[in-house]
Structure 1
Amino acid sequence: MAEIRIRNTEQRIQGEENVRAFLEQQEVLYEHWDPSKLAENLQQKFVLSDEDKAQILSTFDEEIRDLAARRGYQTWDIIALSDATPNLDELLKKFENVHTHTEDEVRAITAGRGIFIIKGTDDVGYFDVELEAGDVISVPEYKPHFFTLMENRQIVAVRLFIETEGWIAHPYTDESFSSNKA
């Protein structure tokens, strides 16, 4: 289940309803899918074949199509990252810069863990959303954020897009942002 850490105060928010309510106030969509639906052999697998990816998409087809219909998403795919991913550290450097997009950034975590760092309202500042299997998040267009892996450096997620080419990151400079993850 997702957990939130507000960076300015170190306050932690736990529990599905509390997380959902906080994120709703920050205009971020949060849902939870049943991760146990996924075949056991895929629940901890982070190097995926095309067949594995197709099986994940098939398993969550109903949830994906429901979310897509409600939010206007047109296409989706799977991203899998782990220490086995070629050039993982270089890839993460691209992710680990605050940026915005001209469409939502959506992730439905099917295995592993990841973290979104999001700029909230002025009274909240930046906050971390720690995600695990079953957590679904949609960061709205133009909201400054970035996504990275947690200490386990393993994640599989469904990504949904409005534009069929996927999204493009637009750098966001913010003097108030500290990349301190502690």
Structure 2
Amino acid sequence: MAEIRIRNTEQRISGEENVRAFLEQQEVLYEHWNTSKLAPELQEKFVLSDEEKQQVLATYKEEIKDLAERRGYKTWDIITLSELTPNLDELLKKFENVHTHTEDEVRAITAGKGIFIIKGTDDVGYFDVELEAGDVISVPEYKPHFFTLMDNRQIVAVRLFIETEGWIAHPFADPVFETNKA
């Protein structure tokens, strides 16, 4: 289950309903998918063949279609990151800068862990959303954020897009974030 850490206060929010309620106030969609649907051999595998990626997509076909219909997403794929990913550190540096998009950034975690750092309302400031398998998040367009891996440095996630070429990051310079890093 996702857990939230508000950076200004170190307050932690846990429990599916509490997380969902907090994220709704921040205009971020949060859902949870059933991880037991995924074949056991894929639940902790972080380097996937094209066939295995298709198996993950087929497993969550109904959930993906439902989310896509509700939110207007037109295409989806799988991203896998682990210590075996070539140039992982350089790739993470690209992700680890506050940015925005002209469409939602959606991740449905099917294995591993990741973290979104999101700029909340003025009274909240930046907060971390620590995600694990089964967690689904949609950060709205134009909301400053970034995504990175947690200490385990491995994740498999379904990404959904409106634009068929995928999202493009637009840097968001924010001096408040620099003083707020933890």
**TM bucket normalised to smaller:** over 0.9
**Letter of the 2:43 counterpart:** Q
Name the CA distance, whole Å, in 1 between partners of 2:154 and 2:118: 20
- Equivalent residue for 1:62? 62
Measured in 2, the distance between the counterparts of 1:143 and 1:3 equals 19
The AA in structure 2 aligned to 1:13 is: I
5 Å matches for 1:89-168? Answer: 89-168=89-168
Question: What is the Cα deviation at residue 36 of structure 1?
Answer: 1.0
Deviations 1:79-137 (A, max 9, x none): 00000000000000000000000000000000000000000000000000000000000
Deviation, 1:180, is: 3.1
- The root-mean-square deviation of aligned C-alpha atoms, in Å, is 0.7
Measure, in 1, the Cα distance between the counterparts of 2:13 and 2:35.
Answer: 21
Alpha-carbon distance, 1:32 to partner: 0.2
Hey, what does 2:181 align to over in structure 1? 180
Cα separation, 1, equivalents of 2:107 and 2:36: 17
- Normalised to the residue count of structure 1, the TM-score between the two structures is 0.98
Q: Distance in 1 between matches of 2:161 and 2:74?
A: 6
Amino acid at match of 1:162: I
Name 1:46's counterpart in structure 2: 46
2:181 maps to amino acid: N
Q: Which runs of 5+ in 1 are unaligned?
A: none
Gaps of 5+ in 2: none
Stretches of 4+ moved more than 2 A in 1?
178-181
Alpha-carbon distance in 1 for matches of 2:35, 2:27: 24
Which residue is 1:169 aligned to? 169
Q: Where do residues 27-46 of structure 1 align in structure 2 (5 Å cutoff)? A: 27-46=27-46
Q: Over residues 3-38 of structure 1, what are the superposed CA-to-partner deviations in whole Å (9 max), with x where a residue is unaligned?
A: 000000000000000000000000000000001110
- For 1:7 and 1:29, locate their aligned partners in 2 and report how far apart those are by CA, in whole Å: 20
For the residue of structure 1 that corresponds to 2:177, the secondary structure is coil
